A and B are shown apart, each in its own frame.
Chain A
């Protein structure tokens, strides 16, 4: 029983990572969005697994929320906001590091997460054992996407990856803190995405482009 569970956990973690790699490896906005949707579905599945393993019913609610918000609402909002944008705005044409190299770096980041987490005692908590490094890798990859990509849209996506990692992390470690806080966090994220969408919209209107290269007026040299 134990081993099977462990396998499930590991495999689901791996799938999540693959989904994340999918975001790293693609250029077009719709491709990311799909990858993100896919990632969110996996995430909600993982949440459900956690709920199953721990037997806490609230986690199922969280899984449901994730499914609804992350794989439906957020992609919808982003599509809605960007529907008027020309297609070339949505294409990441010129990242700092090439796609191929990005994938390699992402792999390194995954290794780094495993390395960093190694020493934390888990009291043989398999959920934590399995998902903590994965979520950590999510943060780093998300951050890397933010650092690497040059369009405003892909930065939003980077942010979303981090949020997903965060969610997984919180779930894995805490099995749901308390509903109130959980909802608070959700609302915060949602509002954050909304505001960034407004900003996105404004940026495209003001600068006629979504390249962050336009956002370099404020500097000290």
Chain B
């Protein structure tokens, strides 16, 4: 009976995007398919929101035998997927509508867009709940393929270039991830041949018996592989291109949750490796890549000219921070990293949406052409500003808390050099990012522009995210706290010293 309920839960969770994609293919009407997608996304959101309390109380849910496995860690990712998916679907309606109106896309494109969007959501939903790490890999690879299709939606030169780079780099990266996965599997069957050797549950169970050398090599492959997908430097190179060329809602999803999904995979293997050979090894690697990521992001943001590329680099920075938190370990580090995942997933789409609206209004992505947003579109301007301030870690917005925790844990774990470097980089990023942002938001527009927003449907998703940004800055719901706490316990291998 219980198993049936669980099976049903998972099935219902995965159903909306499948049905949505199907309906989109069948109906093909521009207006309707947008609403269908919104419905699908909101159904997912509602289910995930209902699922969270269950996870908090039951800790884990398994379904269809051992195929699906949901624990608190998965739930954190699911939450971010569903929230971002929902707001992105909302925003898509307005955004794609306007793109259609100004002739950038035609009906065929829109149908393809919504198909892709639904499938994209589906793949990202499966990643965190797949118990079989092979399936997880397959799904991560599938996200790449779907998102490549979404990026090259209009076949513009730059979009094709971005899609190509993304495809090649991500595929190469993910093949390394597969190598790593298979290595872990091999370690597992060498340790104890069991049926579910590829399953996460089985691996965790046997991890202590793994061969240390094998685990080390395997983790390197995993880190480089999924790290490529997660945007850790120096494998991040596809990211600014893909994020800047994709349609804005897709950029938001890419940045807000796709990176998280990939990083989720790293976390899973990090747990196994920690159990097997102790956390020092993987921590060290995570910290090194994190510091490089944050440093490169700082440098690139400083010189950035394109608004969306800047946001993309900011994603690199935040993935670095998440990796840093996991690497530092300890309750503060891991909790901070998970909180950072949530916070980033809330703040970054806000920024992408705002920048999308702004670039539609100004018909430009180059930051030098955008000035005085607050005069032209005051509401969007304020939302943009709040999102930006949140991203650079300004209180009273949400990222401040998670960054504070991560950096604290850095000192606590004795990583003084890394932490000091990161603090330096963060200050630089802060300066660089805000310099661009403030110049865009304030001042007088370069030419006379008609004052006006991009429409309610563009504002609402941003307003939702913005209120989350503010609320999470000063208050985190107890359910979420418990969830993240449980997830941190999973990562640290149970309990904190």
Chain A residues with Cβ below 8 Å from B416 are none
Partner of B155, one of A146, A192, A195, A206: A206
CB <8 Å contact, A207 and B163: no
A174-B185 in contact given A195-B145, A220-B309 (Cβ < 8 Å): yes
Which single residue of chain B is at the shortest CB-CB distance from A187?
Answer: B138
CB A21 to nearest CB in B, in angstroms, measures 20
Number of interface residues of A (CB under 8 A): 42
Q: Does A119 contact B (CB under 8 A)?
A: yes
Interface SS of A by simple majority:
helix
CB <8 Å contact, A121 and B214: yes
Chain A residues with Cβ below 8 Å from B157 are 206-207, 217
Chain B residues with Cβ below 8 Å from A116 are 217
> For the side of the interface on B, what is the size category?
35 or more
Which single residue of chain B is at the shortest CB-CB distance from A171?
Answer: B182
A170-B182 in contact given A116-B217, A206-B155, A220-B309 (Cβ < 8 Å): yes
CB <8 Å contact, A173 and B152: no
Chain A positions 8 through 35: 1 when the CB is less than 8 Å from some CB of chain B, otherwise 0: 0000000000000000000000000000
Which single residue of chain B is at the shortest CB-CB distance from A212?
Answer: B164
Partner of A119, one of B152, B167, B183, B213: B213
Q: 6 tightest CB-CB pairs across the interface, nearest first?
A: A181-B134, A184-B138, A215-B161, A218-B241, A173-B186, A188-B141
New A-B contacts (14) at CB < 8 Å, excluding given A185-B134, A188-B141 = A121-B211, A128-B186, A146-B168, A162-B172, A174-B189, A177-B134, A188-B138, A192-B167, A196-B167, A196-B168, A199-B163, A203-B160, A215-B165, A220-B240
A-B contact pairs, 16 of them (CB 8 A): A116-B217, A155-B168, A159-B172, A169-B179, A174-B189, A184-B138, A185-B137, A188-B145, A196-B167, A199-B148, A199-B163, A202-B152, A202-B160, A206-B160, A217-B161, A221-B303
B interface residues, Cβ below 8 angstroms from A = 132, 134-135, 137-138, 141-142, 144-145, 148-149, 152, 155, 157-158, 160-165, 167-168, 171-172, 175-176, 178-179, 182-183, 185-186, 189-190, 198, 211, 213-214, 217, 240-241, 244-245, 300, 303-304, 309
A interface residues, Cβ below 8 angstroms from B = 116, 119-121, 123, 128, 139, 143, 146, 152, 155, 159, 162-163, 166, 169-170, 173-174, 177-178, 180-181, 184-185, 188, 191-192, 195-196, 199, 202-203, 206-207, 214-218, 220-221
